Amino acid sequence: MEIFWIWLSLLKNVGPITQKKLINHFQTPKRIYDATEEELRNIKGIRKTAISAIINSKSLNESELIINRMQQNDIKLLTIHDRFYPILAKECKESPVILYYKGNFKKYETAIAVIGSRRCTTYGRNVAEELGEKLAYLNIPIVSGFAKGIDSYVHAACVKEGGYPIIFLGGGVDVCYPKEQRRLYDKILESGIILSQYPPGTLPKPKHFMQRNALISAWSTEVIIVEAGKNSGALWTAQFARNHGRRILAVPNQLYVKEGVGTNQLLEQGAIPFLGIESLDAVKNLPILYEQNLIQKLRSHPILSILTTATSIPKLALQLNMNNEDLMNELFDLELQGKITIRGNIVKKTNGK
């Protein structure tokens, strides 16, 4: 049966909307393959170009080659009839009838998309990593792309904390792009899943990323834009989220930071300000006791846990494996919260903290 699903997805002039219309009518792709021209013409809304493509494209050679590559690379096929295909995603017009994937599926009702700039600020990185950690603790899947910057930071943190990452690629699932993120790619496959609508071996192309962005929104219940410049692709994902009726949150940024122009613009247009994990509906809907346990755990900071005595900043940097800039940002935040004091080069916890 897989071969006919793949055949249907490869047809020229037959997009996802038409494919789903055909599946709803014939129930299986094999019946579409076997359909006569008259049967196809009797279906309302099917264009002549689509009918012509179905009637004149009966070769299964390309589909067979794809199946061979799938078998060689441990790639599986998810169809729109599969129980793991989210109901919310099925309702989105951009959703394809099949997706290729590597990794393991988990059934979920809530998933949070976390997206943003490739060239993000330290502030954006900190927000992404904190989101990755906290959502992992809550067992809430994180949906994103695989670009450098926000995408990779949120998934690295998610994997580190044992969370469930869901990745959409702009090429085949067996094509790790960017190549230098191979280690993260392998880590994601240990605990999460990598998906693409493009056949194995497909190289990423600029035109693919728009469709990938649509899928990130379709597979999510809420979408957080951490940082986005004026022309960031993350803004397209936000537009898809708006079309899909998803809840859109944006992280506020400074007025004169270029990486925050897009997110501040989204806030002006009505996006919900993301002010912390409690801003998410997914968290508000948790049982009260579980939420209290979460807040208690999240209040514990890695710096506070090792800061048992007054310690020098260089020593802290070594213990935490952090660069000075990132460490100082964390320390200043903790000082503002009244949890530590900094005197010259020495840091210590305040009394009772």
**pLDDT at position 300:** 61
Question: Domain residues of the chain, as ranges?
Answer: 1-72, 112-294, 300-349
Q: Listing from the earlier edge strand, what are the strands of the sheet with 340-343?
A: 311-312, 346-349, 340-343
pLDDT in tens, 308-330: 788 888 888 888 878 887 788 78
Question: Percentage of the chain with pLDDT > 70?
Answer: 94
pLDDT in tens, 111-132: 999 999 988 999 999 999 999 9
Identify the CATH assignment for 300-349 out of 1.20.58.1690, 3.40.50.170, 1.10.10.10, 2.40.40.20: 1.10.10.10
Query: Would you place residue 278 in the very low, low, confident or very high pLDDT band (cuts 50, 70, 90)?
Result: confident
Lowest-confidence range among 176-185, 282-291, 331-340? 282-291
Predicted TM-score (pTM) of the model is 0.81
**pLDDT at position 289:** 47
On the question of a common fold for 1-72 and 112-294, the answer reads no
> Residues 32-57: what's their mean pLDDT?
92
Report how far residue 97's alpha carbon sits from residue 84's, in angstroms, rounded to the nearest whole number: 13
Query: Would you place residue 353 in the very low, low, confident or very high pLDDT band (cuts 50, 70, 90)?
Result: very low
| CATH code given to domain 1-72 | 1.10.150.20
Separation in Å, CA 335 to CA 10, 123, 268: 57, 17, 31
> Residues 249-265: what's their mean pLDDT?
91
112-294 CATH fold: Rossmann fold (3.40.50)
pLDDT at 290 over 80: no
CB distance 30 to 5 below 8 Å: no
Separation in Å, CA 42 to CA 22, 26, 110, 287: 11, 12, 39, 51
Is the pLDDT higher at 278 or at 287? 278
